[in-house]
Chain A
């Protein structure tokens, strides 16, 4: 069922949007003009796999993918702000937990961050959240 992706995306994006204390979020294909000097978060939904979970006719499918969240903070101010935001995001997408929206559950495989990088005028930390769902 192809429409499952809109449900998965909605669950993940709602979870991110519901975290308190994080900067504004730039969602997929929504115009967002970053203001230099102001932190923000970019979210990207990436479906990767769709494989039968069992053999036989009309099997349940295992969908898997990545929810890529990137934390952007102004460059030159040290890593503490970006680190703090990244930690908050990871804590809210903890591995082995479910993200739910309207009784629709997406399971989290892992949530990992990388080191910080410079992309002038930003300092950013990429976070990759692995998700899956049987449907």
Chain B
């Protein structure tokens, strides 16, 4: 019985250590993602979320709801909001064993930002591909 408890304690400490490491990585990904994200109305960058693997949902801000897609006069403010939200998501991952996490963006124009659009004269920003390339 005492050996089982020892193993259980060791496993608990390993899980906790792995979770801490994952959270550090999640924070680095959040920092980089927000840094390289373009800001026009701010809807795209504010639509990022980090969720535990298998968990549904995520944020979706629409520029349509922000007065006809106008350029924001303060891009840094949107980046700060986005970072704050992502840090809250990372905290919400909890202290128990984390099985991985997923970075999502559910804004309606996420594909356009990623791959560009000739019709709307948007360059390909490849935000997700760059995050993947950097963090694997």
Note whether A and B form a binding pair.
yes
Residues of A within 8 A of B (CB): 34, 42, 44, 46, 48-49, 64-66, 68, 70, 72, 114, 117, 119-120, 122, 124, 126, 128, 130
Q: How far is the CB of A5 from chain B (nearest CB, A)?
A: 15
Q: How many A-B residue pairs have CB under 8 A?
A: 44
Q: In whole angstroms, how far apart are the Cα atoms of A66 and B36 in the complex?
A: 15
CB of A44 within 8 A of CB of B134, answer: no
CB of B117 within 8 A of CB of A119, answer: yes
Residues of B within 8 A of A (CB): 111, 114-119, 123-124, 126, 129-130, 133-134
CB of B130 within 8 A of CB of A119, answer: no
Q: How far is the CB of B131 from chain A (nearest CB, A)?
A: 9
What residues of A have a CB within 8 angstroms of the CB of B124 in the complex?
42, 44, 68, 70, 126
> A44-B124, A66-B129, A128-B126 known; A117 and B134 CB under 8 Å?
no
CB of B130 within 8 A of CB of A122, answer: no
> 19 more A-B contacts (CB under 8 A) besides A48-B134, A66-B130?
A44-B124, A44-B126, A46-B126, A48-B130, A49-B133, A49-B134, A64-B133, A65-B133, A68-B124, A70-B124, A72-B118, A114-B115, A119-B117, A120-B119, A122-B119, A124-B115, A126-B115, A128-B126, A130-B133
What residues of B have a CB within 8 angstroms of the CB of A120 in the complex?
119
What residues of B have a CB within 8 angstroms of the CB of A119 in the complex?
117-119
CB of A70 within 8 A of CB of B116, answer: yes
CB of A128 within 8 A of CB of B118, answer: no
What residues of B have a CB within 8 angstroms of the CB of A68 in the complex?
124, 126, 129
Q: In whole angstroms, how far apart are the Cα atoms of A54 and B111 in the complex?
A: 37
